[in-house]
Amino acid sequence: MPTELNGTQHLQTPWNKDKIIGQKRPLKLQEVWAIRIRLQLAQQIRELALFNLAIDSKLRGCDLVGLHVSDIAHGHTVMHRAIVLQQKTQRPVQFEITEQTREALTTWIAHAKLKDGQFLFPSRKHASPHLSTRQYARVVECWVISIGLDPSAYGTHTMRRTKATLIYKRTKNLRAVQLLLGHTKLESTVRYLGIEVDDALEMAEQTEV
DNA sequence: CGGCTGCAAGATTTGTCTAG
DNA sequence: CTAGACAAATCTTGCAGCCG
């Protein structure tokens, strides 16, 4: 758009006009735990389930809020693994649901009396299908603020990036990260994580053998 | 009221195409 | 074959306003 007034005022200027935002940062392991504990103590059943699943699934926000109960659970039992078709790329990704996430989800499903065909995170409004990504983003922001981090550096993509980064740091297994994120090519993963290509390919080869 | 949806529009993500 | 360009989908986030 044309006019950019005083860059720092919060009037009605586009939120990111002339601002350099950059990628959203991933959470550190201890930060994940900090948030998790807070939610547990606060008895935030829905948010705890949402948070745990977000970390575990590494799904994009739009895929996460659009999840059905039947995608991750059979009857009253939450599955250990789930396969979801990504909306953006139309490719399936498989992810593991950890113990505590299953617990949180089970509690949430029981608490909200959700049925198989319903959305996992239903909207309050009848006309809307499920929780909006807008609200999800806001919830994430709340989490970040609650543990004293800068909200502008983290977002919903932080959730997606967090586990992938942790796994890469720990195992150096790019191949695994690629599968977990559902990327089609190693190059995409490399670009995403911002790793040197030679470095990455070399590692992938070593891992393959 | 407070939680939530929807919109707008620049930024980021990620599959794919293209040149070297 | 690879890096870079391109494009389509998605994200980010202030703001307005609706619903339970």
Q: Is residue A5 part of a domain?
A: no
Q: Is residue A101 part of a domain?
A: yes
pLDDT at res. A16: 52
Q: In angstroms, how far is CA A71 from the centroid of its own chain?
A: 16
Q: Is residue A67 part of a domain?
A: yes
pLDDT at A206 over 50: yes
Q: Report residue A79's pLDDT band, with 50, 70 and 90 as the boundaries.
A: confident
Q: Is residue A96 part of a domain?
A: yes
- Alpha helices of chain A — where are they, by DSSP H? 29-41, 45-57, 61-65, 69-72, 99-112, 133-146, 156-171, 174-181, 186-193, 197-208
pLDDT at res. A10: 34
Closest nucleotide to A201, Cα to C1': C2
Cβ of residue A133 lies below 7 Å from strand B = no
Cβ of residue A11 lies below 7 Å from strand C = yes
Q: What is the CATH number of the domain that holds A88?
A: 1.10.443.10
Q: Is residue A185 part of a domain?
A: no
Q: Is residue A208 part of a domain?
A: no
More confident: A14 or A31: A31
**pLDDT mean over A43-51:** 88
Sole residue written with tokens 């977000």: A54
How far separated are the first and last CA of chain A, in Å rounded?
A: 52
pLDDT at A9 over 70: no
Burial of A12 (0-12, 13-18, 19+ CB in 10 A): exposed
Cβ of residue A195 lies below 7 Å from strand C = no
Per-residue pLDDT tens digits for A164-202: 888 887 777 888 888 888 888 888 888 887 654 445 455
Q: Report residue A12's pLDDT band, with 50, 70 and 90 as the boundaries.
A: very low
Distance in Å from C17's C1' to A41's CA comes to: 33
Residues ≥6 apart with Cβ < 8 Å to A183: A189, A192
Full residue range of the structural domain in which residue A113 is found: 29-159
Cβ of residue A123 lies below 7 Å from strand C = no
pLDDT at A107 over 60: yes
In three-state secondary structure terms, A74 is: strand
pLDDT at res. A175: 84
Q: Is residue A7 part of a domain?
A: no
Distance in Å from B13's C1' to A156's CA comes to: 13
Q: In total, how many domains does chain A have?
A: 1
pLDDT averaged over chain A?
A: 78
Q: Is residue A13 part of a domain?
A: no
